[in-house]
Amino acid sequence: MLAAVQAVKSGKMCQRAAQPTFNVSRATLQTHHNEKVTLDAKPERISRFTYQQERKLVDYACNWADMGGVRLGKKQFLLYAGQNAKKNGVKFKGGRTSNTLWCGLLKRYPDLKLRKPKTIAAASHQTIDREVVKSYFEAIHLALIKHKTLD
């Protein structure tokens, strides 16, 4: 690939001649020649969210589980991501987030994991302890203060 790009850039070969010689597709050679893609680029889709927006989504999902909530499933997470996208003006094909977003996030953020759903009783028995309940009610208290609904 590198030799093909160098041959085209130096003018020794045209793109059509370099394609069969170096066994590189013409479209790939053209994108590298026009410097739309660097030679060390990985073949991965670019996310429509910024890094900060993605990190916020992942933190939300992880913190929700840590505060004693039932773990978010893929469907609930994608619904939340869609609402967040709409709020931030991020557009998706068909207006909905997809499995591609989910798979990309799983690759980029190892702390985001899909858990098998449990019954509510089993999940609550495993997560209820004094610290979890305390942090849950502190979060509610802060939300009430923030929205000025506390007496």
How much is the pLDDT for 34? Answer: 76
Q: Lowest-pLDDT range, 4-13, 64-73, 125-134?
A: 64-73
Q: Is residue 66 part of a domain?
A: yes
Asked if residue 82 and residue 135 are part of one domain, the reply reads yes
Asked if residue 138 and residue 70 are part of one domain, the reply reads yes
Q: Lowest-pLDDT range, 4-18, 26-40, 74-88?
A: 26-40
How much is the pLDDT for 38? Answer: 65
Q: Is residue 151 part of a domain?
A: no
Q: Is residue 39 part of a domain?
A: no
pLDDT in tens, 107-150: 888 887 766 555 655 556 666 778 878 888 999 999 898 888 87
Q: Is residue 42 part of a domain?
A: no
How much is the pLDDT for 138? Answer: 92
How much is the pLDDT for 43? Answer: 57
pLDDT in tens, 95-108: 778 888 888 888 88
Which domain covers residue 103, as residue numbers?
51-146
Q: Alpha-carbon distance 101 to 47, whole Å?
A: 7
Q: Is residue 120 part of a domain?
A: yes
Q: Is residue 63 part of a domain?
A: yes
Q: Is residue 138 part of a domain?
A: yes
Tally of domains in the chain: 2
Q: Alpha-carbon distance 61 to 83, whole Å?
A: 14
Using CA atoms, how far residue 69 sits from 41, 57, 97, in Å, is 39, 16, 23
Asked if residue 72 and residue 110 are part of one domain, the reply reads yes
SS (H, E, C) the chain: CHHHHHHHHHCCCCHHHHHHHHCCCHHHHHHHHCCCCCCCCCCCCCCCCCHHHHHHHHHHHHHHHHCCCCCCCHHHHHHHHHHHHHHHCCCCHHHCCCHHHHHHHHHHCCCCCCCCCCCHHHHHHHHCCHHHHHHHHHHHHHHHHHCCCCC
Asked if residue 139 and residue 84 are part of one domain, the reply reads yes
Q: Is residue 40 part of a domain?
A: no
pLDDT in tens, 22-65: 888 888 888 777 776 666 655 556 677 888 888 888 888 877 76
